[in-house]
A and B are shown apart, each in its own frame.
Chain A
Amino acid sequence: MDIHRYEKIWIGVSLVFIVGLMASIVYGVVAVGATTVGDSGETVAANDLSNTTFGDPGGHWASDDHYVVNVVAQQFQFRPGTREPVVVPANTTVTFRLTSPDVVHGFEVVGTSVNAMVIPGQVTVATTRFDRPTTYGVVCNEYCGAGHQNMEGQIVVVPRETLRNASANGTAASLAPPAGDAPDGGVA
Protein backbone atom coordinates (compact mmCIF):
# COMPACT_ATOMS: atom_id res chain seq x y z
CA MET A 1 0.00 0.00 0.00
CA ASP A 2 1.14 3.51 -0.77
CA ILE A 3 1.63 5.38 2.49
CA HIS A 4 3.69 8.51 2.80
CA ARG A 5 6.75 8.24 5.01
CA TYR A 6 5.44 10.86 7.44
CA GLU A 7 2.22 8.97 7.84
CA LYS A 8 4.09 5.74 8.49
CA ILE A 9 5.98 7.50 11.26
CA TRP A 10 2.71 8.77 12.61
CA ILE A 11 1.22 5.28 12.69
CA GLY A 12 4.18 4.17 14.75
CA VAL A 13 3.87 7.14 17.11
CA SER A 14 0.14 6.54 17.45
CA LEU A 15 0.62 2.93 18.41
CA VAL A 16 3.24 3.86 20.97
CA PHE A 17 0.90 6.52 22.33
CA ILE A 18 -1.98 4.07 22.57
CA VAL A 19 0.16 1.51 24.33
CA GLY A 20 1.33 4.27 26.63
CA LEU A 21 -2.27 5.07 27.52
CA MET A 22 -2.93 1.45 28.34
CA ALA A 23 0.25 1.27 30.36
CA SER A 24 -0.96 4.24 32.43
CA ILE A 25 -4.14 2.40 33.19
CA VAL A 26 -2.27 -0.74 34.18
CA TYR A 27 0.01 1.36 36.36
CA GLY A 28 -2.99 2.87 38.06
CA VAL A 29 -4.49 -0.53 38.70
CA VAL A 30 -1.35 -2.24 39.87
CA ALA A 31 0.60 0.49 41.66
CA VAL A 32 -2.18 2.62 43.13
CA GLY A 33 -4.84 -0.06 43.23
CA ALA A 34 -7.33 2.19 41.45
CA THR A 35 -9.77 0.11 39.48
CA THR A 36 -13.50 -0.24 39.02
CA VAL A 37 -16.44 -2.39 40.06
CA GLY A 38 -16.29 -6.04 39.14
CA ASP A 39 -18.66 -8.98 39.22
CA SER A 40 -19.53 -9.90 42.77
CA GLY A 41 -21.44 -12.90 41.47
CA GLU A 42 -24.29 -12.12 43.83
CA THR A 43 -27.85 -11.61 42.76
CA VAL A 44 -30.89 -10.75 44.85
CA ALA A 45 -34.61 -10.64 44.30
CA ALA A 46 -35.26 -6.96 43.85
CA ASN A 47 -38.88 -7.10 44.87
CA ASP A 48 -38.21 -8.58 48.29
CA LEU A 49 -35.02 -7.56 50.02
CA SER A 50 -36.37 -8.14 53.52
CA ASN A 51 -34.68 -11.49 54.04
CA THR A 52 -31.34 -10.45 52.61
CA THR A 53 -28.42 -8.47 54.04
CA PHE A 54 -30.25 -5.45 52.66
CA GLY A 55 -33.27 -6.05 54.84
CA ASP A 56 -31.72 -3.87 57.51
CA PRO A 57 -29.15 -1.80 55.66
CA GLY A 58 -26.30 -0.10 57.45
CA GLY A 59 -22.70 -0.60 58.44
CA HIS A 60 -20.94 -3.21 60.54
CA TRP A 61 -17.42 -4.39 61.26
CA ALA A 62 -16.56 -7.45 59.19
CA SER A 63 -13.15 -7.73 60.78
CA ASP A 64 -10.57 -5.61 62.52
CA ASP A 65 -9.64 -3.69 59.43
CA HIS A 66 -12.72 -4.08 57.32
CA TYR A 67 -15.96 -2.15 57.62
CA VAL A 68 -18.87 -3.15 55.39
CA VAL A 69 -21.83 -0.92 54.62
CA ASN A 70 -24.97 -2.26 52.99
CA VAL A 71 -26.77 0.51 51.15
CA VAL A 72 -30.11 0.35 49.39
CA ALA A 73 -30.51 2.88 46.59
CA GLN A 74 -34.18 3.42 45.89
CA GLN A 75 -36.51 6.05 44.59
CA PHE A 76 -35.53 8.63 45.85
CA GLN A 77 -33.12 8.11 48.70
CA PHE A 78 -30.13 6.13 49.86
CA ARG A 79 -30.73 3.96 52.88
CA PRO A 80 -28.61 4.83 54.81
CA GLY A 81 -27.28 8.05 53.43
CA THR A 82 -30.21 10.36 52.94
CA ARG A 83 -32.14 10.55 56.20
CA GLU A 84 -29.01 10.00 58.23
CA PRO A 85 -25.46 9.98 56.84
CA VAL A 86 -23.47 6.83 56.33
CA VAL A 87 -20.77 6.72 58.98
CA VAL A 88 -17.52 5.02 58.07
CA PRO A 89 -14.14 4.79 59.77
CA ALA A 90 -11.03 6.52 58.45
CA ASN A 91 -7.91 4.56 57.54
CA THR A 92 -9.83 1.33 57.20
CA THR A 93 -10.86 -0.79 54.27
CA VAL A 94 -14.48 0.13 53.64
CA THR A 95 -16.67 -1.94 51.37
CA PHE A 96 -19.95 -0.60 50.06
CA ARG A 97 -22.47 -3.21 48.99
CA LEU A 98 -25.29 -1.69 47.00
CA THR A 99 -28.50 -2.84 45.45
CA SER A 100 -31.81 -1.39 44.35
CA PRO A 101 -35.39 -2.60 44.77
CA ASP A 102 -36.71 -0.56 41.87
CA VAL A 103 -34.71 1.05 39.04
CA VAL A 104 -31.11 1.70 38.05
CA HIS A 105 -29.41 4.28 40.27
CA GLY A 106 -25.94 5.74 40.50
CA PHE A 107 -23.82 6.07 43.62
CA GLU A 108 -21.33 8.88 43.29
CA VAL A 109 -19.25 10.11 46.21
CA VAL A 110 -18.75 13.68 45.07
CA GLY A 111 -15.15 14.78 44.71
CA THR A 112 -13.82 11.23 44.63
CA SER A 113 -13.62 8.40 42.13
CA VAL A 114 -15.95 6.18 44.12
CA ASN A 115 -18.62 6.02 41.46
CA ALA A 116 -20.69 2.95 40.67
CA MET A 117 -23.98 1.84 39.20
CA VAL A 118 -26.68 0.15 41.25
CA ILE A 119 -28.84 -2.26 39.26
CA PRO A 120 -31.91 -4.07 40.60
CA GLY A 121 -31.21 -7.75 41.01
CA GLN A 122 -27.45 -7.24 41.20
CA VAL A 123 -25.15 -6.44 44.11
CA THR A 124 -22.51 -3.79 43.47
CA VAL A 125 -19.42 -4.22 45.60
CA ALA A 126 -17.08 -1.23 45.79
CA THR A 127 -14.16 -1.17 48.17
CA THR A 128 -12.24 1.92 49.12
CA ARG A 129 -10.30 3.63 51.84
CA PHE A 130 -10.85 7.07 53.35
CA ASP A 131 -7.71 8.76 54.59
CA ARG A 132 -9.03 11.32 56.99
CA PRO A 133 -12.17 12.33 58.85
CA THR A 134 -14.34 14.54 56.69
CA THR A 135 -17.78 14.65 55.13
CA TYR A 136 -18.61 13.71 51.57
CA GLY A 137 -21.76 14.30 49.61
CA VAL A 138 -23.34 11.45 47.67
CA VAL A 139 -25.58 11.92 44.64
CA CYS A 140 -27.50 9.56 42.46
CA ASN A 141 -26.09 10.22 39.01
CA GLU A 142 -28.31 7.96 36.93
CA TYR A 143 -31.81 9.14 36.05
CA CYS A 144 -34.24 7.17 38.17
CA GLY A 145 -37.57 8.92 37.80
CA ALA A 146 -39.46 12.04 38.78
CA GLY A 147 -37.60 12.67 42.02
CA HIS A 148 -34.10 11.94 40.77
CA GLN A 149 -32.94 15.49 41.39
CA ASN A 150 -33.68 15.09 45.10
CA MET A 151 -31.72 11.90 45.56
CA GLU A 152 -28.72 12.77 47.66
CA GLY A 153 -27.01 11.85 50.90
CA GLN A 154 -23.85 12.13 52.94
CA ILE A 155 -20.97 9.99 54.08
CA VAL A 156 -19.31 11.02 57.29
CA VAL A 157 -15.82 9.68 57.87
CA VAL A 158 -14.94 9.51 61.55
CA PRO A 159 -11.75 8.45 63.29
CA ARG A 160 -11.51 4.72 63.34
CA GLU A 161 -11.39 4.29 67.08
CA THR A 162 -14.38 6.55 67.53
CA LEU A 163 -16.52 4.30 65.40
CA ARG A 164 -15.07 1.15 66.89
CA ASN A 165 -15.94 2.30 70.38
CA ALA A 166 -19.37 3.47 69.32
CA SER A 167 -20.09 0.15 67.63
CA ALA A 168 -19.07 -1.68 70.76
CA ASN A 169 -21.32 0.51 72.91
CA GLY A 170 -24.17 0.37 70.43
CA THR A 171 -24.08 4.13 70.08
CA ALA A 172 -23.00 4.17 66.45
CA ALA A 173 -26.28 5.78 65.44
CA SER A 174 -25.51 8.90 67.43
CA LEU A 175 -22.42 9.54 65.35
CA ALA A 176 -24.70 10.21 62.37
CA PRO A 177 -26.99 13.12 63.09
CA PRO A 178 -29.84 13.50 60.62
CA ALA A 179 -29.05 15.15 57.28
CA GLY A 180 -26.80 18.07 58.07
CA ASP A 181 -25.80 21.13 56.09
CA ALA A 182 -23.79 20.64 52.97
CA PRO A 183 -20.05 20.70 53.52
CA ASP A 184 -18.34 23.91 52.46
CA GLY A 185 -18.49 24.35 48.75
CA GLY A 186 -20.62 25.63 45.95
CA VAL A 187 -24.12 25.08 44.80
CA ALA A 188 -24.05 23.75 41.27
Chain B
Amino acid sequence: MTVPLPILDSPAPIVPLAHLDELWFQVGGTLCNLECRHCFISCSPKNHAFGFLDLETIRGYLDESVEIGVREYYFTGGEPFLNRDMMSILELTLTYGPATVLTNGTVFQEEWLERLSRAEADSPYSLEFRVSIDGFSAEDNDPVRGPGTFDRAMKGVRQLVDHGFLPIITVTRTRDDQDETALFYGFERMLRNQGYSRPRIKILPTLRIGAEADRGRAITPMNASLRK
Protein backbone atom coordinates (compact mmCIF):
# COMPACT_ATOMS: atom_id res chain seq x y z
CA MET B 1 0.00 0.00 0.00
CA THR B 2 1.32 3.47 -0.82
CA VAL B 3 0.85 6.28 1.67
CA PRO B 4 0.85 9.76 0.10
CA LEU B 5 3.17 12.28 1.71
CA PRO B 6 1.56 15.40 3.12
CA ILE B 7 2.06 18.52 1.01
CA LEU B 8 4.56 20.72 2.77
CA ASP B 9 4.39 24.48 2.26
CA SER B 10 7.73 25.01 3.97
CA PRO B 11 11.04 23.17 3.95
CA ALA B 12 11.23 20.17 6.24
CA PRO B 13 13.08 20.93 9.48
CA ILE B 14 16.68 19.78 9.66
CA VAL B 15 18.12 18.20 12.76
CA PRO B 16 21.92 18.44 12.77
CA LEU B 17 23.78 15.22 13.49
CA ALA B 18 25.56 15.94 16.76
CA HIS B 19 26.88 12.48 17.54
CA LEU B 20 26.91 8.94 16.18
CA ASP B 21 28.06 5.87 18.11
CA GLU B 22 28.45 3.47 15.21
CA LEU B 23 29.18 4.29 11.59
CA TRP B 24 28.13 1.54 9.18
CA PHE B 25 29.52 1.32 5.64
CA GLN B 26 27.71 -0.84 3.10
CA VAL B 27 31.08 -1.29 1.51
CA GLY B 28 30.12 -4.31 -0.56
CA GLY B 29 26.96 -2.70 -1.90
CA THR B 30 24.29 -5.27 -2.74
CA LEU B 31 26.74 -7.58 -4.48
CA CYS B 32 27.41 -10.95 -2.94
CA ASN B 33 28.83 -14.23 -4.18
CA LEU B 34 26.01 -15.97 -2.28
CA GLU B 35 22.24 -15.61 -2.52
CA CYS B 36 20.95 -16.43 0.95
CA ARG B 37 17.26 -17.12 1.27
CA HIS B 38 16.89 -14.86 4.33
CA CYS B 39 18.99 -11.87 3.16
CA PHE B 40 17.18 -8.78 4.34
CA ILE B 41 18.55 -6.68 1.46
CA SER B 42 18.29 -9.42 -1.18
CA CYS B 43 21.99 -9.39 -2.07
CA SER B 44 23.18 -11.64 -4.88
CA PRO B 45 25.78 -11.86 -7.66
CA LYS B 46 23.27 -10.06 -9.90
CA ASN B 47 22.02 -7.32 -7.58
CA HIS B 48 23.80 -4.15 -8.74
CA ALA B 49 21.35 -1.79 -7.03
CA PHE B 50 24.14 -0.43 -4.88
CA GLY B 51 27.82 -0.67 -5.80
CA PHE B 52 31.08 -0.85 -3.87
CA LEU B 53 32.33 2.07 -1.78
CA ASP B 54 35.88 3.05 -2.68
CA LEU B 55 38.76 3.97 -0.41
CA GLU B 56 38.57 7.73 -0.99
CA THR B 57 34.85 7.84 -0.25
CA ILE B 58 35.47 5.95 2.99
CA ARG B 59 38.37 8.26 3.87
CA GLY B 60 36.08 11.28 3.57
CA TYR B 61 33.50 9.80 5.91
CA LEU B 62 36.14 8.66 8.39
CA ASP B 63 37.45 12.23 8.57
CA GLU B 64 33.91 13.48 9.06
CA SER B 65 33.30 10.90 11.80
CA VAL B 66 35.98 12.37 14.06
CA GLU B 67 33.99 15.55 14.64
CA ILE B 68 30.87 13.66 15.69
CA GLY B 69 32.73 11.31 18.01
CA VAL B 70 32.01 7.98 16.31
CA ARG B 71 32.97 5.19 18.65
CA GLU B 72 33.42 2.30 16.19
CA TYR B 73 33.06 1.34 12.53
CA TYR B 74 31.17 -1.50 10.85
CA PHE B 75 31.49 -2.87 7.32
CA THR B 76 28.86 -4.90 5.57
CA GLY B 77 27.48 -5.57 2.10
CA GLY B 78 26.81 -7.66 0.12
CA GLU B 79 30.08 -9.41 0.76
CA PRO B 80 32.70 -6.81 1.79
CA PHE B 81 35.63 -8.92 0.59
CA LEU B 82 34.44 -8.77 -3.01
CA ASN B 83 35.52 -5.12 -2.83
CA ARG B 84 39.20 -5.08 -3.83
CA ASP B 85 39.76 -1.91 -1.73
CA MET B 86 38.71 -3.78 1.40
CA MET B 87 42.18 -4.40 2.82
CA SER B 88 43.19 -0.75 2.36
CA ILE B 89 39.86 0.37 3.82
CA LEU B 90 40.32 -1.72 6.97
CA GLU B 91 43.96 -0.68 7.33
CA LEU B 92 42.89 2.96 7.14
CA THR B 93 39.95 2.50 9.50
CA LEU B 94 42.14 0.93 12.18
CA THR B 95 44.00 4.24 12.42
CA TYR B 96 40.68 5.89 13.41
CA GLY B 97 39.02 3.34 15.67
CA PRO B 98 37.85 -0.23 16.14
CA ALA B 99 36.48 -2.00 13.08
CA THR B 100 34.07 -4.89 12.63
CA VAL B 101 33.49 -6.55 9.28
CA LEU B 102 30.50 -8.78 8.52
CA THR B 103 31.46 -11.47 6.03
CA ASN B 104 30.32 -14.82 4.73
CA GLY B 105 33.90 -16.06 5.11
CA THR B 106 34.02 -17.78 1.73
CA VAL B 107 36.40 -15.64 -0.31
CA PHE B 108 39.45 -14.98 1.89
CA GLN B 109 42.92 -15.11 0.41
CA GLU B 110 45.90 -15.83 2.62
CA GLU B 111 47.76 -12.64 1.72
CA TRP B 112 44.72 -10.53 2.63
CA LEU B 113 44.58 -12.04 6.08
CA GLU B 114 48.31 -11.61 6.56
CA ARG B 115 47.92 -7.93 5.74
CA LEU B 116 45.00 -7.50 8.10
CA SER B 117 46.77 -9.36 10.88
CA ARG B 118 49.66 -6.90 10.62
CA ALA B 119 47.24 -3.94 10.50
CA GLU B 120 45.53 -5.04 13.71
CA ALA B 121 48.86 -5.67 15.46
CA ASP B 122 49.97 -2.13 14.55
CA SER B 123 46.72 -0.56 15.79
CA PRO B 124 45.53 0.05 19.35
CA TYR B 125 42.09 -1.08 18.17
CA SER B 126 40.45 -4.44 17.63
CA LEU B 127 39.56 -5.78 14.20
CA GLU B 128 36.56 -8.05 14.56
CA PHE B 129 35.29 -10.53 11.98
CA ARG B 130 31.69 -11.67 12.13
CA VAL B 131 31.28 -14.75 9.98
CA SER B 132 27.71 -15.68 9.09
CA ILE B 133 26.88 -19.39 9.40
CA ASP B 134 23.28 -20.37 9.94
CA GLY B 135 23.46 -23.97 11.07
CA PHE B 136 26.09 -26.12 12.77
CA SER B 137 25.99 -28.66 9.96
CA ALA B 138 25.80 -28.44 6.20
CA GLU B 139 22.33 -29.99 6.41
CA ASP B 140 21.10 -27.05 8.49
CA ASN B 141 23.10 -24.25 6.90
CA ASP B 142 23.15 -24.98 3.18
CA PRO B 143 19.39 -24.89 2.48
CA VAL B 144 19.45 -21.25 3.62
CA ARG B 145 22.84 -20.05 2.41
CA GLY B 146 23.42 -22.28 -0.64
CA PRO B 147 25.04 -25.63 -1.49
CA GLY B 148 28.59 -26.02 -0.17
CA THR B 149 28.53 -22.81 1.87
CA PHE B 150 28.94 -24.52 5.25
CA ASP B 151 32.25 -26.12 4.26
CA ARG B 152 33.46 -22.94 2.56
CA ALA B 153 32.58 -20.71 5.54
CA MET B 154 34.21 -23.14 7.98
CA LYS B 155 37.35 -23.04 5.86
CA GLY B 156 37.22 -19.24 6.26
CA VAL B 157 36.88 -19.58 10.03
CA ARG B 158 39.95 -21.82 10.14
CA GLN B 159 41.89 -19.34 7.98
CA LEU B 160 41.01 -16.51 10.38
CA VAL B 161 41.97 -18.56 13.44
CA ASP B 162 45.25 -19.57 11.77
CA HIS B 163 46.03 -15.87 11.33
CA GLY B 164 45.44 -15.13 14.99
CA PHE B 165 41.91 -13.74 14.77
CA LEU B 166 39.02 -14.80 17.00
CA PRO B 167 36.04 -14.58 14.63
CA ILE B 168 32.53 -14.19 16.00
CA ILE B 169 30.21 -16.71 14.38
CA THR B 170 26.97 -14.89 13.70
CA VAL B 171 24.04 -17.27 13.60
CA THR B 172 20.66 -16.19 12.34
CA ARG B 173 17.75 -18.13 13.75
CA THR B 174 16.16 -19.11 10.48
CA ARG B 175 13.66 -21.56 11.90
CA ASP B 176 10.98 -20.95 14.48
CA ASP B 177 11.52 -24.37 16.06
CA GLN B 178 15.16 -23.73 17.00
CA ASP B 179 15.98 -23.61 20.71
CA GLU B 180 18.50 -20.80 21.18
CA THR B 181 20.52 -22.49 23.93
CA ALA B 182 20.72 -25.77 21.99
CA LEU B 183 21.79 -23.82 18.92
CA PHE B 184 24.51 -22.06 20.91
CA TYR B 185 25.94 -25.26 22.39
CA GLY B 186 25.65 -27.08 19.05
CA PHE B 187 27.77 -24.39 17.43
CA GLU B 188 30.24 -24.35 20.29
CA ARG B 189 30.75 -28.12 20.07
CA MET B 190 31.12 -28.06 16.28
CA LEU B 191 33.61 -25.16 16.34
CA ARG B 192 35.77 -26.80 19.00
CA ASN B 193 35.76 -30.04 17.01
CA GLN B 194 36.95 -28.04 14.00
CA GLY B 195 39.91 -26.69 15.99
CA TYR B 196 38.54 -23.31 17.09
CA SER B 197 39.31 -23.57 20.81
CA ARG B 198 37.85 -20.22 21.92
CA PRO B 199 34.67 -19.94 19.87
CA ARG B 200 32.68 -16.72 20.00
CA ILE B 201 29.03 -16.99 18.97
CA LYS B 202 26.19 -14.51 18.53
CA ILE B 203 22.65 -15.64 17.77
CA LEU B 204 20.42 -13.13 16.03
CA PRO B 205 16.82 -13.01 14.82
CA THR B 206 16.11 -12.56 11.12
CA LEU B 207 14.92 -9.24 9.75
CA ARG B 208 11.71 -10.01 7.90
CA ILE B 209 12.31 -7.78 4.92
CA GLY B 210 14.02 -8.33 1.55
CA ALA B 211 14.40 -11.97 0.57
CA GLU B 212 13.37 -13.04 4.07
CA ALA B 213 9.93 -11.46 3.56
CA ASP B 214 9.36 -13.71 0.55
CA ARG B 215 10.48 -16.85 2.32
CA GLY B 216 8.29 -19.35 4.12
CA ARG B 217 9.24 -19.22 7.80
CA ALA B 218 9.45 -22.91 8.55
CA ILE B 219 12.24 -23.84 6.19
CA THR B 220 13.70 -27.27 6.97
CA PRO B 221 16.27 -29.45 5.27
CA MET B 222 13.40 -31.73 4.22
CA ASN B 223 11.24 -29.16 2.51
CA ALA B 224 13.98 -26.73 1.46
CA SER B 225 14.58 -28.52 -1.82
CA LEU B 226 10.88 -28.17 -2.65
CA ARG B 227 11.13 -24.41 -2.52
CA LYS B 228 12.53 -22.12 -5.19
**Bound pair: A and B?**
no
Chain B interface (Cβ < 8 Å from any Cβ of A): none
Q: Show the binding face of A for B, using Cβ within 8 Å.
A: none
